[in-house]
């Protein structure tokens, strides 16, 4: 049940679960998995915020923010993923992540970039009220060549105008 999904700060002991999610074939095409050491260093860094999504005892996804200490209050949602895409967890996770960014972290602007061909993620973000701000042509390289990234963002006022914002 997506209603049972909760977010909590990640611990070092969650890193292997995060890596196992981001390494799955359906996910690693849109997220470049990091090695354990890189996650461990970021988790210790106050400029990052690591959250895991749980349903009961099970970790079903995660969200990682960076630039949390931005003096512009412009926070980047660096990566988000669920272990079973298409089950509705992503939307719930993303709503809670928005709340964390704007209420707990005090973001003025929450931005992200997404592969242009990642229709599921783009639809998720658009459906939640993100605005597409531009296309970075050939900005990321994958084994099959260069790909465009779409920059999307939501501002504090836009978040507070959402029906389910708190």
Instruction: List interacting residues with ligand COA (CB under 6 A).
Output: 27, 30-31, 80-82, 85-91, 112, 114, 118-121, 123-124, 127
- Answer whether 139's CB lies under 8 Å from 148's CB: yes
- CB 85 → ligand COA: shortest distance, Å? 3
Q: 62 or 159, CB closer to ligand COA?
A: 62
Q: 43 or 114, CB closer to ligand COA?
A: 114
- CB 76 → ligand COA: shortest distance, Å? 11
Cα(102)–Cα(72) distance, integer angstroms: 13
Cα(138)–Cα(79) distance, integer angstroms: 19
Rg (CA), the chain: 15
Q: Give backbone dihedrals phi and psi of 113, rounded to 5 degrees, phi first.
A: -125, 150
Q: 120 or 160, CB closer to ligand COA?
A: 120
Q: 120 or 137, CB closer to ligand COA?
A: 120
- CB 20 → ligand COA: shortest distance, Å? 13
- CB 75 → ligand COA: shortest distance, Å? 15
Residue number closest to ligand COA, CB atom: 90
DSSP 113-150: EEETT-HHHHHHHHHHT-EEEEEEEEEEEETTEEEEEE
Cα(25)–Cα(43) distance, integer angstroms: 24
């Amino acid at each position: 049940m997506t209603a049972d999904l909760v977010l909590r700060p990640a611990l070092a002991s969650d890193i292997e679960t995060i890596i196992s999610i981001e390494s799955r074939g359906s996910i690693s095409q849109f997220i470049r998995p990091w090695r354990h050491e890189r996650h461990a260093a970021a988790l210790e860094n106050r400029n990052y915020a690591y959250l895991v999504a749980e349903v009961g005892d099970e970790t079903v996804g995660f969200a990682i923010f960076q630039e949390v200490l931005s003096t512009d209050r412009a926070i980047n949602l660096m990566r988000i993923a669920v272990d079973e895409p298409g089950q509705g967890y992503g939307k719930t996770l993303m709503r809670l992540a928005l709340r964390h960014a704007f209420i707990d972290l005090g973001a003025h602007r929450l931005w992200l970039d997404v592969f242009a061909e990642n229709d599921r993620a783009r639809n998720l973000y658009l459906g939640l009220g993100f605005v597409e701000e531009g296309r970075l042509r050939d900005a990321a390289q994958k084994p099959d060549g260069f790909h465009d990234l779409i920059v999307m963002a939501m501002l504090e006022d836009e978040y507070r105008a959402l029906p389910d914002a708190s």
